[in-house]
Amino acid sequence: MRIIDLSQRISESMPVYPGTEPPRISQATTIRDEGFAEKLITMFSHTGTHIDAPAHMVEGAATLDALPAAHFVGRAAVVDLRGLQGGSIGKTELARHEGMIAGSDFLLLMTGWSDRWGKKGYFSAFPVLSREAAQWLAGLGLKGIGVDAISVDPVDTRDFPNHGVLFAANMVIVENLRSLEELPSEGFLFCCAPLAIEDADGSPVRALAILV
């Protein structure tokens, strides 16, 4: 068995969604003074590699704690879009992999954008799904999709159309993944279990690929 970590590290200097405060991490206790070490951590629920619940943007939709634990683990497929020309991921690029995608629980979109993590260009011009592609994916019965970019919608959006389409299908969205190039195209397990936060609209995750 091989485990591949797909998560970005959380730190005070990490990139965050424009307009969001970065994490604050302080050493609350130390082994020297109190006999044990603990950190006090303050951060937004959509920090770093994280999962979006439908309740993130849809009033009355499922929160993460309302979904069964099984919703966060399943068979996954990766579509390599690193050679994509232009900023839109169309249905045509995905439909050629329909059998692989439809036989999976999660689809991971590898755009190569994680190479820009920590750089200014990470927040602009990253490829996102076209509306048609999002609607097509929403009809396949997937548990969720994951991307190696900051969002499934452009950062300058005002209505977040792709989030809305995917959430309407009760799908979760995992953003800020990394190391997707280390994965096979299919035949592995993906785990994106969130913290068990009450009424959670989102949560940082330690996203993992499990290759048996």
Residue type, 199: D
Q: What single DSSP character describes residue 205? A: B
Q: Give CA–CA dist 165/93, Å, rounded.
A: 18
- The SS3 of residue 180 is helix
Q: Give CA–CA dist 112/178, Å, rounded.
A: 9
Alpha-carbon torsion, ordered 207, 47, 54, 132, to 10 deg = -80
37 close to 56: Cβ distance less than 8 angstroms: no
Say whether 46 is catalytic.
Answer: no
State the maximum Cα–Cα separation within the chain, in Å, rounded to a whole number: 61
203 close to 64: Cβ distance less than 8 angstroms: yes
- As given in the structure block, the two tokens for residue 120 are 């200014």
Return the H-helix or E-strand segment holding 106.
strand 106-110
Q: Give CA–CA dist 195/51, Å, rounded.
A: 10
Q: Which residues, 6 or more positions from 151, have their beta carbon under 8 angstroms from its beta carbon?
A: 17, 126, 128, 175
Q: Annotated catalytic residue: which of 56, 71, 97, 163?
A: 56
Q: Which residues are catalytic?
A: 56
